Amino acid sequence: MPGHADIDRAGLEPARAIAARIDVDPASVSVAREHLSPQSARSADALSLIRCYQERESIVDRGWDHPRRVPLAETDEGQRLRQTSPFPAILSPIEAWAITRACLGRVART
């Protein structure tokens, strides 16, 4: 049975896939930006969610070099940001879940 550390490591794999996709097509960061704006508007009544989306928007707006390092960092901040990616819509939910499930499957088999 996977533990918290295994789940955290599995969350790193979709972040790596997102980084690889943006490395190939840096313009795809605009997809994340376009996706964050409506989410932020829908959450206007929830202060904690607004702060979350503002943080993600500021990460996305910094160009690509800095934001690339943040979600990939194997730190508390990196792990926290991977819980809700600052780069939504770069991977579909199905792609992200398939990557995570495959990683957790490898853990379960060991």
Q: pLDDT tens digits, residue range 25-40?
A: 888 888 877 877 777 7
Residues 96, 94: Cα–Cα separation, whole Å = 6
**Which one, of 67, 72, 69, lies nearest residue 30 by Cα?**
67
Residues 90, 12: Cα–Cα separation, whole Å = 15
Q: How do residues 41-83 score in pLDDT, each as one tens digit? A: 777 787 777 788 788 888 878 777 777 787 788 888 888 877 7
The answer to whether the beta carbons of residues 59 and 7 sit under 8 Å apart is no
Residues 54, 57: Cα–Cα separation, whole Å = 5
pTM of the model: 0.75
pLDDT of residue 107: 64
What phi and psi values does residue 40 have, to the nearest 5 degrees? Answer: -65, -45
Per domain, the residue ranges of the chain are 4-109
More confident residue, 57 or 1: 57
**Which one, of 4, 95, 84, lies nearest residue 39 by Cα?**
84
Structure tokens at 109: 């088999």
